[in-house]
A = this chain, B = another copy of it.
Amino acid sequence: MIADDIVAALAAITGPAAIKTGDALRAIHPGSDPHNLDAGLMVTPQTVEQVSAIVKFCNGNRIAIVPHGGRTGLAGGAVSHKDEIILSLAALNRIESVEAAAGTAIVECGVTLQALQEEAAKAGLTTGIDIPSRGSATIGGMISTNAGGMEAFRLGVMRQRVLGLDVVLPDGSVMSDLAEVTKSNEGYDLKQLFIGAEGTLGIVTRAVIALTPVDRFTATALVACPSAAAAVSLFQTLRQNRALRLLRTEFMAHTYFSLAVEALGPASLAAFTQAPVYLIVESEGLTQEAAQSALEEALGAAIETGLVLDAIIAQSGKERNDIWNIREDSNVITRAYPHGYWFDISVPLQHLDAYLRQFDGGVAALGADVRGFAFGHLGDGNLHICVAGEDENPHKDAVKDIVYANIRQMGGSFSAEHGIGLEKMPELQALADPVKLALMRTIKQTIDPNGIMNPGKVVG
């Protein structure tokens, strides 16, 4: 079909106002990848019935669909090409219910994370997952990428927070599995297939999300540790400490921390940049005072045992924000080193120290102008890594070899929380278990025989 026919057919389903092309489409921000809008045609259905009709039409005419949530994904899963259409879920943005007693919400999948957080807060609840792109990222996108974040070690990733799901399958039929309960064993748990599938098997349209009580009185500390091994031991100690509830433990290796402090401040931390490893530790207590004193006591004990070199406990909202800014504004790396190679890996905690030693050694061997930055979510062993030189780094294959060395043998993952998208497809082909890879292709072929759902992503 030619583009005009497609527009006319889609307009017959959604009305013409729901279709954007040309300048109207170019006026939209492409999101985290400049090629997200390259298809040149976006349809924004208003109802699940319209989603179903569009998918059915596209399946019948072999038109490829790229589903879009908030376009904040970091692996290229929303990149689109000419002759594809973008199906935006942005208009499916109703929060249908929040149940305080059960701790659940039913939402349409275009709801942003922040909108759900705000609505849940009225019932003293929150989503259990928070990511910096909360204002744009949608629940559907977070389900499709199985988002992670800073609290996964205690509250799980998105997969663990989805109780029920409605999905439009590639033939346009709607699989409805909207259980609102934790315990439901009604045959194969097929909704799991669509969580983390990045829109390649169907389109998530509604979900039941498990909520969790909001944190009330929290204390925040910036902690310097003598090694990653010590940081892991500190995590283990704090997690088992019943006097506080450990909420977050963010990791920053020295290279990242010193770069970020130099670029972002505060100046008061300039003398605090000599340790090999830094953590941001956040915990909760019964009162603000109790939270602070429990954390202070625990970190004091850790200084005695040598797990901690020094620690600063935030005494005000400003001090807390200054500390978090060091960790959250990780674009500081890209601003200093625009040509870095980025990775998103997990390493089991018992191997984290060995992994980082191996990584530091490998990067050093690449030459004095190459630097490796590692930071991330300690509790999950999830590291975001950038390896960069002053100019375009010529060692891409060597860098991959260093970052992925032994990661499988250690029980880790080459793709922790950003997904495969386009970017990690070579890694998936090279590192995934071949039997699993073959079964993935079989499942894709079975559910989407015409290959219309987000083609070229994940399994191709």
Residues of A within 8 A of B (CB): 99-102, 104, 124, 145-146, 148, 152-153, 156-157, 159-160, 164, 169, 173-190, 192-193, 195-197, 201, 208, 213, 216, 232-233, 235-236, 239-240, 242-243, 245, 284-286, 346-350, 377, 380-382, 410-420, 428, 431-433, 435-437, 439-440, 442-444, 446-447, 458-459
Contacts and interface: CB of A to CB of B under 8 A. Distances in A.
B146 A185 contact: yes
Nearest to A447: B439
Given A190-B443, A242-B216, A284-B242, A182 B195 contact: no
Nearest to A428: B187
B380 A169 contact: no
Contacts of A189: 146, 159, 192-193, 195-196
A458 B428 contact: no
Contacts of A417: 183, 185
B157 A183 contact: yes
Nearest to A414: B186
Most buried by B among A104, A174, A416: A416
Nearest to A420: B187
Most buried by B among A177, A179, A284, A382: A179
A396 B381 CA distance: 52
Give the oligomeric copy count: 2
Contacts of A157: 182-183
A440 B193 CA distance: 12
A245 B154 CA distance: 14
Nearest to A439: B190
Nearest to A176: B433
Contact of A458 (B188, B236, B243, B416): B188
A420 B189 CA distance: 12
Given A181-B411, A183-B416, A439-B190, A349 B380 contact: no
A180 B352 CA distance: 12
Contact of A175 (B185, B196, B284, B436): B436
Nearest to A433: B176
12 contacts: A104-B348, A169-B439, A180-B410, A180-B411, A183-B381, A184-B416, A186-B432, A187-B196, A187-B436, A187-B459, A213-B240, A216-B242
A235 B103 CA distance: 11
Given A101-B350, A187-B458, 17 more contacts: A146-B189, A156-B160, A157-B183, A179-B346, A179-B411, A179-B412, A179-B413, A180-B411, A181-B347, A181-B413, A183-B377, A184-B346, A187-B436, A188-B193, A188-B440, A189-B196, A242-B245
